Amino acid sequence: MLKPDEAIGRILAQISPMPTERTPLLAAQGRALQVAQNARFELPPWDNSAMDGYAVRASELPGTLPVSGIMAAGVSPDAELAVGTCMKIMTGAPVPRGADTVVMRENVEEGTSVATFSEAPILGRHIRRAGEDISADSELLPAGSRLGPGELAILAAQGIAEIPVCRRPRVAILSTGDELVPLGATPSDAQIISSNSTTLAAQIREAGGIAVDAGIVPDTLQATVRALRSLADYDVLLTSGGVSVGDFDYVKEAYETIGVSMDFWKVAVKPGKPLAFGTRAIPGSDRTQLVFGLPGNPASSLVSFEIFVRPALRKLLGFASATRPRIMVTLSEDFEKATGRTNFLRAKLTPSETGPVATLLRKQGSGMLRSMVSVDCLVQFDADTTHFAAGSKVPALPLRGAW
């Protein structure tokens, strides 16, 4: 059976980023820059003061000097400091020509029109040099950068008000199951509410996609095929449930009926062994839809999305790195498992001096929702190992954080 990393590799190999669109800067928050951006001008644009204080010629100090003027933030950088004088200066104000040093106000004895400096200052102190932050023509951000507040700030400071990002993929969620009713409906005594529709929509949005709930289909081939056909416009199609070997699991057959080219059906992973991935050439267009058949069990669905679908969405969104980086965590307790499948267990993380400690959450059954609450990471247990000792370090996939 396919290993999870092989499955991720096969998925990513089928994907190229979505077409780009230009967007106002702030609307690009959390998305990936598509074209590297270079500086348009240097910053700071002129030498300016890092402190409220006095602009001086260092060689003229110590001593008492007349105050010949005041430089406030926003005044022209054209001023000149007359020999034998000092000028009052504010943080961010341009340093007048001739001055080579700023003395902090706290170290100056201020008279009515004079200032007394008791010490010789260090030449060049408290001056921010033109271009010391950003030099002209330097690269501000490479393509593929994730645009957080700091990245948006550097672009804003350079007057870059619009940038190219990938169009957000539109992702349809189709839930399958005779037992399911939508949120808002009252289940009969044979029914449950489809929680996966909500989990998956939230995960899609969190990954940067546009989630559309395509509703619930009953467990018949005909209804499944009809629904899948109606969803050809979406960039990605997720089905939930019906992908296993039960008598009423029609998703695989429905995919084949509508011409999905299946890449794989199963991955050696727990939870989430039945996991389908394929591509569908949309007739009459040059578009290819990505199709994921996720297992119906709530925890399997959540975990499968994180491991397999999220990287696909991130690659569609043009991120330089599609997968979240693994972290190493220390196990707080022993763990035993069978060989054959990589296990991903939901865990909480606690910081410690030797790095994060993972405490496995209770109620790990693939059908259970309880351990999906307050989960910080998925701890990854190697397929071929059976015993993991408390205190040992293992890789984990963080579920929170910026990337």
Residues within the interface to Mg ion (CB under 5 A): 177, 241-242, 296
Please check whether residue 294 is in contact with residue 238, taking contact to mean a CB–CB distance below 8 angstroms.
Answer: yes
Site membership for ligand AMP, residue 304 (CB under 6 A): no
Instruction: Report the residue from 145, 239, 244, 380 that binds ligand AMP according to the rule CB under 6 A.
Output: 244
* β-strand pairing of 180-181 with 192-193: parallel
Site membership for ligand AMP, residue 17 (CB under 6 A): no
Q: Which segments within 231-297 are labelled E, that is strand?
A: 236-240, 261-266, 269-270, 274-281, 288-294
From residue 10, alpha-carbon distances to 18, 28, 273, 279, 320 in Å are 18, 29, 16, 12, 17
Least separation in angstroms between residue 193's CB and ligand AMP is: 7
Give how far the C-alpha of residue 325 lies from the chain's centroid of Cα atoms, to the nearest Å: 11
Q: Of 250, 232, 234, which Cα lies nearest the Cα of 242?
A: 250
Q: How many CB atoms lie within 10 A of CB 107?
A: 13
Site membership for ligand AMP, residue 367 (CB under 6 A): yes
Least separation in angstroms between residue 246's CB and Mg ion is: 7
Site membership for ligand AMP, residue 145 (CB under 6 A): no
Token pair listed for 35: 């074209």
Q: Minimal CB distance to ligand AMP: which residue?
A: 296
Instruction: Report the residue from 121, 208, 209, 298 that binds ligand AMP according to the rule CB under 6 A.
Output: 298
Residue 180 interacting partner from ligand AMP, Mg ion, none (CB closer than 5 to 8 Å by kind) = ligand AMP
Site membership for ligand AMP, residue 203 (CB under 6 A): no
Compare residues 68 and 196 and give the one whose CB is closer to Mg ion. 196
Return the CA Rg of the chain: 30
Q: What does the angle CA 259 – CA 216 – CA 311 come to, to the nearest 5 degrees?
A: 60
Site membership for ligand AMP, residue 213 (CB under 6 A): no
Least separation in angstroms between residue 240's CB and Mg ion is: 9
Compare residues 117 and 305 and give the one whose CB is closer to ligand AMP. 305
Question: With contacts defined by CB under 6 A, how many residues of the chain interact with ligand AMP?
Answer: 20
> Which residues, in sequence order, are bridge partners of residue 53?
89, 104
**Beta-carbon contacts of residue 189 (< 8 Å; ≥ 6 apart):** none
Classify residue 367 by burial, with Cβ atoms within 10 Å: 0-12, 13-18, 19+: exposed
Token pair listed for 387: 């015993």
Residue 194 interacting partner from Mg ion, ligand AMP, none (CB closer than 5 to 8 Å by kind) = ligand AMP
Please check whether residue 117 is in contact with residue 59, taking contact to mean a CB–CB distance below 8 angstroms.
Answer: no
Instruction: Report the residue from 194, 239, 304, 343 that binds ligand AMP according to the rule CB under 6 A.
Output: 194
Compare residues 79 and 228 and give the one whose CB is closer to ligand AMP. 228
Compare residues 14 and 198 and give the one whose CB is closer to ligand AMP. 198
Per-residue mark of binding to ligand AMP, 149-188 (x: CB under 6 A): --------------------------x-x-xx--------
From residue 120, alpha-carbon distances to 90, 97, 106, 116 in Å are 20, 20, 15, 11
Site membership for ligand AMP, residue 198 (CB under 6 A): no
Enumerate binding residues for ligand AMP (CB under 6 A): 175, 177, 179-180, 192, 194-197, 240-244, 246, 295-298, 367
